[in-house]
């Protein structure tokens, strides 16, 4: 209720302006965050799960792209979530696409974004995570979503993913290969037959090399896919992921389709929120059918989660974990409490 009133005010301003204000000023109040726990953290130990050795205190987390540079990790720990996925991070810092690049579709409860992997780069993110780890509770999971820089050609993309892994392996608890954002030219082609096998092979080899050379533990690597895939494409990706030893799939990223929207908005980019839910649920369901045989291959559902009903839908379709982004913008920071209750 309180947030609904605040939202009336916040939504009068451009979305990226509000985002920047919150992400600039909220970190100054870090030391007060634990005081919020009794309010936001209600039921936060419900339904815990261990994913290939990594324990999540509940099944709800923050999806990639909201806290790209790890500025609010300590906040997510107190706000009732089991994990945050920081990034997408690229080896080098980059500014992303020209503004405006973020649009609310209020009537549809959606967002269109074409941010283009704006981020401060892998080295800075590593420092942020290591610092935050000293302050968050031990069982708070920090995933790192990795991507390629804009200038890196597709046939060299694997080098960027490998660089990110190299820099961040020690800091992150799990990693996500993002090959599904629609806002980096050509990126989604990495999901196709031409690139996917070599890409996954190179990344898994790199992980094995890091584990051996730096004597670090094995960590989960997931793949994040688009909702706009045909059944054939989905099967190619799933088979390659299982074959090369990827630990699971996040379904899904944003869609480039524009079906049945009420809002009259004609912007390029990826669409998220309520209008995405049906599509990402369908992909999750199909993945779950492909995944019948494999009990340790993890499925993570993202796309259009606003309520506990949406969350339960994802779980019923086979999700081991669920992530939110757009729902938090519309429902406020109390969304974890609301869903997990």
Ligand X SMILES: Cc1cc2nc3c(=O)[nH]c(=O)nc-3n(C[C@H](O)[C@H](O)[C@H](O)COP(=O)(O)O)c2cc1C
Question: Residues interacting with ligand X, by CB under 6 A?
Answer: 63-65, 68, 88, 102, 111, 113, 115, 117, 145, 178, 181, 224, 253-254, 272-273, 276, 302-305, 324-327
80 versus 304: smaller Cβ distance to ligand X: 304
- Give the alpha-carbon dihedral of 319, 286, 279, 185, to 10 degrees: 100
Instruction: Please name the residues in contact with 299: beta carbons below 8 A apart, sequence gap of 6 or more.
Output: 248, 249, 251, 284, 287, 288, 291, 318, 319, 320
- Give the alpha-carbon dihedral of 14, 268, 325, 85, to 10 degrees: -110
Q: Is 181 a catalytic residue?
A: yes
Least Å distance, CB 215 to ligand X, is 30
Q: How many CA atoms lie within 13 A of 44 on its CB side?
A: 23
Please tell me which residue in 181, 215, 272, 294 is annotated as part of the active site: 181
User: 271 - beta bridge partners?
Assistant: 112, 255
**Taking CB positions, which residue lies at the least distance from ligand X?**
65
- Cβ–Cβ under 8 Å, residues 275 and 110: yes
106 versus 216: smaller Cβ distance to ligand X: 106
Q: How many CA atoms lie within 13 A of 285 on its CB side?
A: 8
Distance (Å, whole) CA 106 – CA 112 = 11
CB atoms within 10 A of CB 55: 13
Q: How many CA atoms lie within 13 A of 291 on its CB side?
A: 24
Least Å distance, CB 272 to ligand X, is 3
Least Å distance, CB 308 to ligand X, is 14
Least Å distance, CB 29 to ligand X, is 23
Helices and strands of the chain, counted as H and E runs: 12, 13
Least Å distance, CB 88 to ligand X, is 4
38 versus 60: smaller Cβ distance to ligand X: 60
111 versus 167: smaller Cβ distance to ligand X: 111
17 versus 29: smaller Cβ distance to ligand X: 17
Residues known to be catalytic: 181
């Amino acid at each position: 209720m309180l947030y609904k009133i605040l939202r009336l005010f916040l939504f009068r301003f451009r979305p990226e302006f509000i985002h920047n204000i919150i992400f600039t000023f909220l970190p100054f109040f870090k030391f007060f965050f634990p005081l919020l726990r009794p309010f936001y953290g209600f039921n936060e130990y419900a339904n815990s799960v261990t994913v290939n050795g990594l324990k999540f205190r509940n099944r709800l987390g923050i999806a990639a792209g909201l806290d790209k540079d790890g500025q609010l990790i300590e906040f997510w720990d107190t706000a009732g979530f089991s994990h945050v996925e920081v990034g997408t991070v690229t080896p080098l810092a980059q500014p992303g696409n020209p503004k405006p690049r973020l649009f609310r579709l209020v009537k549809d409860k959606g967002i269109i974004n074409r941010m283009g992997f704006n981020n401060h780069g892998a080295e800075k993110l590593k420092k942020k995570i290591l610092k935050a780890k000293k302050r968050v509770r031990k069982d708070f999971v920090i995933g790192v979503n990795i991507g390629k820089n804009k200038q890196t050609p597709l046939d060299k993309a694997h080098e960027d993913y490998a660089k990110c892994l190299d820099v961040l392996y020690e800091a992150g608890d799990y990693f996500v290969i993002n090959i599904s954002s629609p806002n980096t030219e050509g990126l989604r082609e990495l999901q196709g037959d031409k690139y996917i096998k070599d890409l996954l092979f190179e990344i898994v080899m790199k992980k094995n090399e890091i584990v051996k050379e730096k004597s670090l533990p094995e960590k989960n690597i997931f793949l994040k896919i688009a909702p706009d895939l045909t059944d054939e494409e989905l099967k190619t990706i799933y088979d390659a992921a299982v074959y090369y030893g990827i630990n699971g799939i996040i379904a899904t990223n944003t869609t480039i389709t524009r079906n049945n929207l009420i809002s009259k908005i004609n912007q390029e980019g990826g669409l998220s929120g309520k209008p995405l839910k049906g599509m990402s649920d369908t992909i999750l369901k199909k993945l779950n059918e492909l995944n019948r045989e494999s009990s340790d291959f993890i499925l993570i559902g993202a796309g259009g989660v606003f309520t506990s009903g949406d969350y339960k839908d994802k779980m019923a379709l086979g999700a081991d974990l669920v992530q939110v982004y757009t729902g938090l913008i519309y429902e406020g920071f109390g969304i974890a409490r609301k869903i997990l209750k």
